[in-house]
Structure 1
Amino acid sequence: MTERLRDGMRIALKNSPWKQIMVLPGTESRSKSNVMLPDGRTDIPLAFVEIFLRTQEHDPHAIIECKRIAGSDTHLCREYVVEGMDRFIQEKYGENHAIGFMVGYVLAGVPSESADGVNAYLRRVSRSVDRLAPSDISDGTWQSLHARSKPSMPIRLQHAFLGFAGTSASRT
């Protein structure tokens, strides 16, 4: 699913004014420079060509983490948080970023049920402060704001839950 999303993003960029963005393949990453072995694998790293050419900075400029999700599946909701959101919160991804991106592939139900399922998990584990709230960016998207170990560097995550045509998950 992630490969198809990546391919679609590349096709969309060919016909847009954002041609200076590179949609890179998933890569192993190190959360800190003193970490010797990769401790994460980003699903869709994005890089801006101009910034890369100017700074020779090899780290991605934005990261999209992708997870399977269904609001009624407590295991998938937990994985979305623990193996997705927490990688940003714990600075495994985007340590120097103020924003990160999550995509949920909705396997059953509708996108809003997936957001509700993630929020239900967060309430069960006493993390209501990390809840997803509707985003003002577009319909069908959510956002969350999280404190990190550096108090001055919180991270805002933008969440999109993608349904598939021909299933109940395609309804919003």
Structure 2
Amino acid sequence: MPALVDLPANSTSQVARVVTEACAPAVFAALMPLIIALHSTAPAVMTVLGWALLAILFCSVVPYAVIWVGVRRGRLTDHHIGVREQRRRPLVYGLLSVLVGLAVLVVLAGAPRPLVAVFGPALIPSLAIVVLVGWSRVRLGDHTIGQVVAGALAGILIAVPTFVLLA
């Protein structure tokens, strides 16, 4: 298959590295609540920003801190957790943090629905980012095409029912 843009291999690796870092889960988990808060039509923007900061704490800061501490202590090789056997503990802690954060936002605090369930179908065009990130991970040799496809399918199978339940 011919490339859309004919870049030297070194350039495509650099583009792939930028995409991988800029679209890392911790980055998205920090940016999305802010974007949603700013997009919200709530009259109390500061209140919505407070909700966003709470979501960022549980969905980005805590999970990334677990990874950062693991790297600093030598238990994890890098912030992308490139060694598959090292992924279980950080993923479990990250998932627990997100679930606690979701419980706080939904049950205890009554956060606005757009912050909890995101944008739903309006977010479909962002699937292009998923494709771009998948390409970057394969290009860098961090994942195979099969792993990228399996991850995308798993994401869809988790995201759609979650949105339906929370929307």
State the TM-score, normalizing by the size of structure 2: 0.32
Higher helix proportion (structure 1 or 2): 2
Q: Which has the higher contact order (CA 8 A, sep 6+)?
A: 2
Higher strand proportion (structure 1 or 2): 1
Larger Rg, first or second structure (1 or 2): 2
